[in-house]
Structure 1
Amino acid sequence: MGDAITILGAGAWGEGLAALGAAAGQRVQVWSRRGALDLAACLGESRIVVSAVAMAGVEGAIAHLATLPLPEDLILVTATKGLDTQTQQTPAQLWQAAFPHYPIVVLSGPNLSKEIAQGLPAATVVASTDFAAATQVQTCLASDHFRVYLNCDPIGTELGGTLKNVMAIAAGVCDGLALGTNAKAALLTRALPEMVRVGVALGAQPETFFGLSGLGDLLATCSSPLSRNYQVGYSLGQGRSLPQILAHLEGTAEGVNTAAVLLNVAKSHKITLPITIAVNQLLQGEITPIAAVEALMARELKAEGENWWS
């Protein structure tokens, strides 16, 4: 048998990651705060802990793990896509602050959990400033139907998966309003530089957003009805209210909270985020879907420029 892995979170993504680990020949334990298993017992001989909890559960998972004795060679992997509403930090930044002496690895990519559960082929990225730790995680999760790539830009990798959730809401609105292929192509093309602007301001490498965790995740999430964020946008475009949508949504649409946090980030760093502004206004009930589209179309004309994301 291979390495032992503990997955924090028994939702669709946590179970999907557990299946991927098992397919790669690893010994996997899944822990949930609602389950009967004790986390200390789950850890056992694990040297890799993967956090697959929703953004709202990250602080709780950190607090729980911090009460336990941990091996010196432990690797912490975060597979959560979101931003903390209070600190505006990413999950990896929260984990690193709590466990400064352990390597933190970010896992992100176009990985719709329902397709993962079906065993369909997919690829992802693991990123860390600790290349050896990222390589170990890559080896532990890679299989004949799950290809794992490496990079050394964890903040860019993490932000790609986080920011595209907001764009997926916008894409869903576009389809819900039946605006057509031209409109959606324009939206996604302008969504990418908006993501890059945030990333560069927060220390990411712009080229990371052309990879699986950026463009790849953007295309998957903005095109599939399996995406919860896309479902939210599509339903908004169909005229349903946000409370009604969320009440019937299976799981968490992280983009709903991320949009509001991103506006605070934009103010702090003086970044222009027109799509995010429109999405947040729509989520807050301040404008209608049609008004959101009209606001984007009425913006001042400009050139793409040499630095097209600026």
Structure 2
Amino acid sequence: MNDELDRSTLKPQPQIVAILGSGVWGTALGTLAARNRHEVRFHSRRSEGSWEDALASANLAVSAVSMSGVRPTIEQLQRLVLPPDLIIVSATKGLDALSLQTPSRIWQAAFPQHPIVVLSGPNLSKEIDRGLPAATAVASEDLEAAKRVQTIFASESFRVYVNADPIGTELGGTLKNIMAIAAGVCDGLNLGTNAKAALLTRALPEIIRVSAHFGATPSTFYGLSGIGDLLATCNSPLSRNYQVGYQLAQGKTLAEILECLEGTAEGINTTEVLVRLAKAEKIEVPIAEQVRRLLEGEITPQQAVHSLMERELKAE
């Protein structure tokens, strides 16, 4: 269910927004909230202030940490007495290596008394920082909480849409990072538009197959957090995951790439976790499997492409 913001009838009061994580994504989200005249407090492991100060009287806590930072952040918040009406927004795209769960489900298990909202979409941080137009989705089983988040971030240059499928919205943003690595390989090898179109066309059903296991709604993947995010991330050099694939195809090692990469390419960890999950649940993930083999140095970029092209003939 989509619910576009009607800004002519909503005049939200200034809110206190705590951004947990001060990387490029957290900074971009904080900038969006600040432009709407909300009070924004940034906090990370390197911050001098306390967690208590950052979250005191906060209306919204936005988790914009990397996947590896989700559990440590939760452990810090569990030591606090959180504001009773606090909404927790998960803006992390990844899969937990221990539980094989998404960030929002880990947050919900830790804080069952607080509404959890997922924020995900085709949102390249550097474009948002430049004020270029973009759109995203906020999703929750608590639609009123999602609508409150919508009003905090929405503006004329940043459209925010609501839906009731948090797991689908989250997995669309998570699994496309694997496909972005594959797309970067495709472009890095100069395979052409036809090959890339075929790759992305097959990527979407693979994402949907996995997400159905978690109970996602298939139609979600034809929206912003599905095909929208897939197209943006698989076609932009601003995507860190795309850059990983592109530079691997150019002959660099993964270690060399990561040494110079700005921020975290979550698709690397996500690929390993997804393939483990898929094997356990017998889910077919041919693209993710070849990306895993490439990342682990088992095959070359050329061999990864060849393996995908030589798969058995079957109906579309």
Q: Which category of TM-score, normalised to the shorter sequence, fits these structures? A: over 0.9
C-alpha distance in 2 between matches for 1:66 and 1:201:
29
Residue 19 (structure 1) shift: 0.3
Q: Give the structure 2 partner of residue 57 of structure 1.
A: 69
Q: Give the structure 1 partner of residue 223 of structure 2.
A: 211
Do structure 1's residue 78 and structure 2's residue 90 form an aligned pair?
yes
**Correspondence 1:139-158 to 2 at 5 A:** 139-158=151-170
Residue 45 (structure 1) shift: 2.1
Letter in 1 for 2:99: T
**Correspondence 1:130-209 to 2 at 5 A:** 130-209=142-221
Moved over 6 A (4+): none
Tell me which of 119, 129, 134 is aligned to 2:131: 119
C-alpha distance in 2 between matches for 1:245 and 1:97:
35
C-alpha distance in 1 between matches for 2:131 and 2:76:
31
| Residues 145-154 or 37-46, more deviating | 37-46
C-alpha distance in 1 between matches for 2:219 and 2:282:
21
**Correspondence 1:64-103 to 2 at 5 A:** 64-103=76-115
C-alpha distance in 2 between matches for 1:227 and 1:158:
17
Unmatched 5+ stretches in structure 2? 1-12
Do structure 1's residue 108 and structure 2's residue 120 form an aligned pair?
yes
**Correspondence 1:37-56 to 2 at 5 A:** 37-56=49-68
Q: Is the 8 A contact 2:56 2:83 kept in 1?
A: no
Residue 38 (structure 1) shift: 1.3
Do structure 1's residue 29 and structure 2's residue 41 form an aligned pair?
yes
Q: Give the structure 2 partner of residue 17 of structure 1.
A: 29
Residue 202 (structure 1) shift: 1.3
**TM-score, normalising length: structure 2:** 0.95
Do structure 1's residue 254 and structure 2's residue 266 form an aligned pair?
yes
C-alpha distance in 2 between matches for 1:89 and 1:273:
17
Residue 44 (structure 1) shift: 2.4
Length, aligned pairs only: 304
C-alpha distance in 1 between matches for 2:274 and 2:267:
10
Q: Is the 8 A contact 2:220 2:226 kept in 1?
A: yes
Letter in 1 for 2:54: C
* Identity fraction in percent: 63
Unmatched 5+ stretches in structure 1? 305-310
C-alpha distance in 2 between matches for 1:134 and 1:265:
29
C-alpha distance in 1 between matches for 2:144 and 2:151:
11
